[in-house]
Structure 1
């Protein structure tokens, strides 16, 4: 700001002195000062201001000279002010001052840089009309214009013309053609061009080599690029920032990160300052490969060296965090951008939205869309498609539908992904008729259904036992030139198997094989499920062997269907043999696998009890207490797992504990954890988290706090959902003081304040009907200078409006009152 004021004062002083010179008719001195004032301008705004002042005092006696016109045109071209330059050029022609070749060349070069060759040729005609001859600069500018337009033949015609006219090309001329050839993908011809210029005694400069080296690196021809660098250095051309950057980028893309980083350090030793593009080349590829720790080191080096990260740098690091599942750190970085710049772009928002969707946090993904729109960053087709898809997959159909229509209202036509997601969502909800109506609507629009769209509808119809409609759609699909693929056939097979039509499913199976459409894992899994449902577990096991012979690896779903098949036939021993097989091939059972086995053990226990009762023996096989009874079955499962040769690991217990907690069986989960500790196994973060949330759900707060302390003592990272569960439970239990203390400890950590409000205050307290604790914690946060994004207040206001709870003025924060006044 001070620098701007100083510049303005200098300009005013110069202007005052200029007026005095003009008043005294010292026009030569005045013209010299005017030229210095124009040259002193360092940006577009300064030049506009200077020009505005100069125009005020340029009367009939003190007009622009040729030199001042040329100086002004050169400065206007420098700052890409072509429209103003055109006006000045016209004014010059009308003033009677005869332009020089420099005047014409400045205009031709400026126009050609923008690819406006036809307009440049009109200026060239003025050169000939003025009895002047174009020079190497004129011709090179025209060559540049044709290259910018991708018209290489026209560029070479100009080159041939200049040679014919006796105008010798220089290094810049050749470099321009070399760059044009490279940009057109003709790198070999570009390299030949370099050889040609050397033979003609024209020495290439480092700028001749930059684009060919970059092109070779981008094409993955790293060895050729390095060889070209060697050739360049032999000719006495030292590497500059651009050549280092091209090589660093190529090495990074090839996965040779250590070499790239070594080259970066060499660059520093040689006294060259890497630019933002250099750092981005290193950071981007490291983030793409998930090597985030090294990328962050370079991100820090960049700022230590005084190079400011640009929006691409931030976007790459944010993408890296999201890909590794660390959305927490991505949001902190986003918040830094939001407050200090550079402003987040649609790419930033889309990356974060995708990160939230991948982590299953739909609420925050949608809130980020609100922040995006409120910040003036327009969501694009990708933003809506991803959100609509994520919402549909998670059963949030109403909101997905509203976003789908909002997208249309904003003038964004739904693409195949959006339509398919919505149709799939309706199918999942069992709203097939609505799905079919949207499918017809899609066909009427300019968006043609893809194979994936047809597959979604066919799957929905098949699962709803509308097989003949599904088959007819298959035929219509083929009529549209879309061949049914393995997913199409599998959808039909899966629907039939779920509805007792396994025999017909096998006919489809053989039909697809005859059409050279190889079944995949899901095809076999559907058939195995159908056979097991029909009580044909042995046939299903034979089919499993067949799929393995074909090189397909069964997953936990396939095995679980088979295990369930044998459990239904009361062949529990064989079911455990299959489980051991799963362990042996490193196929991790899920909770449903264990749930199926528990069902079998429970059935076995009841059967034994019934036999004892029948024999009127006073022996208790299973406890009368439901919890103890279930835990005994769990212990039996653990014993049988061990006896079957299945190694009991922390992961095994984690799967069981997580499943039990989701079923509300926290007591049994606690006993199971005791069992694992007796076996010398320590619970991991996942186990503790599951237990803590389960105990919070039933307001067993003291036990939950005990788990929290154990997690903290063991240095386990606590997710925001843990704090949400605990704070909400403490508030519900009337222990506000403890909730506040816990909230205070959370604020001291590296969490983003907006995310804390979204997750704990809104999703936790507000949606749980806890308005008073929510507002108290909001006040507390604000009192500690916990700054929030304005759009978070907008989201809070909207969520409050949904509540049927009367809102008292005194519980709303000052900022919030202002916000409510605005809205």
Structure 2
């Protein structure tokens, strides 16, 4: 059985339990074996055993079934892989793919890459799913150079890279803050008709454009995909709506919601949360209430984030009674307020100058076994400094270490401003 020992992979620089198997250079390992064909069911030559005491040859079918839904322990996956390597004949490539997919679900990307290399070294055939999974792992490990190297190896060996391959690479480029390269790759795929992008491909690019602050380009691509016959789904619409709301284009976002319903594409709670947040930013309470009613009519349950948006919006407007009512309603509907909820309420009290009431909210959090964060204390410190009660702010500042919290630049800056407002320049300099 494979022993779980840690080492630093020469490719991913991450901890990996498969000590004996270096994964450098993976692309060369892949291309150097003639067994790699497009036939996933071909049986390779007998692999050499790397284990002095091979386990019994009977495959643990329960573990194999477990690989379809995921493992609780990494050791179980390694044990299954060990047993699979010694079966005669070897299991189908589908079984190895399921195991790799299970490792991805566990976020054991470095282990999956190492396993893929062992599969190659052992002359076990692979298919495009195996290769796509490995590319995905490289992207998660921030090694796009090896992901693209494996793409080149796929093409060289005669495999047909598919839409999943390129969508994974595009997502990897975006996650590494290379949106222009992702857009260029996407454009070339369409121009040279390498693949027919699907809704996931388009949504991936749209999401990347939105996150990098290009809402107009994202909307153009959104319209283009619909024109090309690729129908946007709920995730696509929600991504665009969220982006438009963040850029304060709420009327366009609301129009897209109407378009969704007309096309019988069901919005979800995230869709409504984005719109509610956008409307709250403009104090369009009538639209907010209308959206909340639509959610109830469509049997879309409000989640914690929905309530937190409302508490924050009411708090910023000084409508504390409404914010407290929302929290009561939240509890009645079976949702537990979290630190974000109470921070928003505290901020609302402080904006009204009722800092002592905000401090009471902090005590309520502790009573309900919620641990305040540094932001919770920053709200109170800022509130007391604005009330010129700097000594009270200092007391809260000194509590942070005992709460296991570290002051931020904002914490220090707020107290410095408090000293200067009260004319305590010498203390401000000493504190600085």
TM-score (norm 2): 0.76
Tell whether 2:163 aligns with 1:308: no
Cα deviation for residue 317 of structure 1 reads 0.7
Counterparts of residues 493-504 of structure 1 (less than 5 Å) = 493-504=346-357
Aligned mates of 1:217, 1:226 — CA distance in 2: 16
Cα distance change on mapping 1:541 and 1:279 into 2, 3 Å: same
Higher share of residues assigned helix: 1
Residue 544 in 1 paired to residue 397 in 2? yes
User: Following the alignment from structure 1 to structure 2, what is the Cα–Cα distance between the partners of residues 374 and 541?
Assistant: 61
Shift in Å at residue 365 of structure 1?
A: 2.0
SS in 2 for 1:391: helix
Question: Could you tell me how far 1:244 is from its partner in structure 2?
Answer: 6.0
Output the CA distance in 2 between the equivalents of 1:508 and 1:213.
49
Matched-pair contact (CA < 8 Å) for 2:308–2:340: yes
Asked if 1:259 corresponds to 2:111, the answer is: no
Contact 1:217 1:250 in 2 (8 A): yes
Could you tell me how far apart the structure 2 residues matched to 1:503 and 1:257 are?
54
User: What's the Cα RMSD here?
Assistant: 3.1
Partners of 1:384 and 1:494 in 2: how far apart? Answer: 32
Match of 2:134 in 1: 282
- Deviation for aligned residue 1:351: 1.3
Superposition pairs for residues 187-586 of structure 1, below 5 Å? 195=58, 212=64, 215=67, 218-219=70-71, 220=74, 221-232=76-87, 235=88, 237=89, 253-256=108-111, 259-260=114-115, 262-263=117-118, 265-266=120-121, 270=123, 274-339=126-191, 340-571=193-424, 574-575=427-428
Give me the whole-angstrom Cα distance separating, in 1, the residues matched to 2:331 and 2:405.
28
**Structure 1 residues 258, 460: closer, same or farther in 2, change over 3 A?**
closer
Give yes or no for contact 1:214–1:246 (8 Å, CA) kept in 2: no
Instruction: Tell whether the 8 Å contact from 2:330 to 2:336 is kept in structure 1 after alignment.
Output: yes
CA 564–445 in structure 1, closer or farther in 2 if over 3 Å, else same:
farther
CA shift, 1:414, in A, is: 2.3
| Structure 2 CA distance for partners of 1:441 and 1:578, relative to 1, 3 Å | farther
Structure 1 284/573 Cα, relative in aligned 2: closer, same or farther at 3 Å? farther
Listed one character per residue, the Cα deviations across residues 152-186 of structure 1 (whole Å, up to 9, x for unaligned) are: xxxxxxxxxxxxxxxxxxxxxxxxxxxxxxxxxxx
Q: How does 1:609-758 map to 2 (within 5 A)?
A: none
CA contact (8 A) 2:70 2:103 kept: no
Unaligned runs of 5+ in 2: 1-54
Q: 1:578 to 1:448 in 2, by over 3 A?
A: farther
Partner Cα separation in structure 2 for residue 239 and residue 481 of structure 1: 47
Aligned to 1:89: none
- Map Cα deviations across residues 351-402 of structure 1 (whole Å, 9 max, x no partner): 1122122222222222221122122111111112222222222322222222
Give, in angstroms, the shift of residue 408 of structure 1: 1.9
Q: In the superposition, relative to structure 1, how do residues 390 and 572 fare at CA in structure 2: closer, same or farther (>3 Å)?
A: farther
Deviations 1:648-704 (CA, angstroms, capped at 9, x unpaired):
xxxxxxxxxxxxxxxxxxxxxxxxxxxxxxxxxxxxxxxxxxxxxxxxxxxxxxxxx
SS in 1 for 2:86: helix
CA 1:519/1:279 → structure 2, altered by over 3 Å: closer, same or farther? Answer: same
CA 433–505 in structure 1, closer or farther in 2 if over 3 Å, else same? farther
Change (3 A) 1:485 1:262: closer
- State the Cα distance separating 1:316 from its structure 2 match: 0.9
Q: Deviations over 1:465-493 (max 9, x none)?
A: 11112222222222223332222221111
Paired position in structure 1 for 2:4: none
8 Å CA contact 1:287–1:320 kept in 2: the answer is yes
Call closer, same or farther: CA 1:333–1:260 in 2, change over 3 Å.
farther
Corresponding residue for residue 786 of structure 1: none
CA contact (8 A) 1:260 1:282 kept: no
Aligned to 1:744: none
- Structure 1 555/362 Cα, relative in aligned 2: closer, same or farther at 3 Å? farther
TM superposition shift of 1:240: 6.8
C-alpha distance in 2 between matches for 1:528 and 1:373:
51
Residue 18 (structure 2) aligns with: none
- CA gap of 1:503–1:372, structure 2 versus 1, over 3 A, is same
Q: How does 1:121-136 map to 2 (within 5 A)?
A: none
Structure 1, unpaired ranges of 5+: 1-190, 196-203, 580-823
CA offset at residue 319 of structure 1?
A: 0.9
Asked if 1 retains the 8 angstrom alpha-carbon contact of 2:67 and 2:102, the reply is no
TM-score, scaled to structure 1: 0.42
User: Deviation of residue 572 (structure 1)?
Assistant: 5.0
Distance 1:357 1:421, change over 3 A: same
Q: CA deviation at 1:300?
A: 1.6
User: 1:38-57, aligned counterparts within 5 Å?
Assistant: none
Q: Distance in 2 between matches of 1:249 and 1:455?
A: 35
Task: Identify the structure with bigger relative contact order (alpha carbons < 8 Å, sequence gap 6+).
Answer: 2
Query: In structure 2, how many angstroms separate the alpha carbons of the residues matched to 1:534 and 1:419?
Result: 38
SS of the residue corresponding to residue 344 of structure 1 reads: coil
After superposition, the Cα gap between the structure-2 partners of 1:263 and 1:250, relative to the gap in structure 1 and judged at 3 Å, is farther
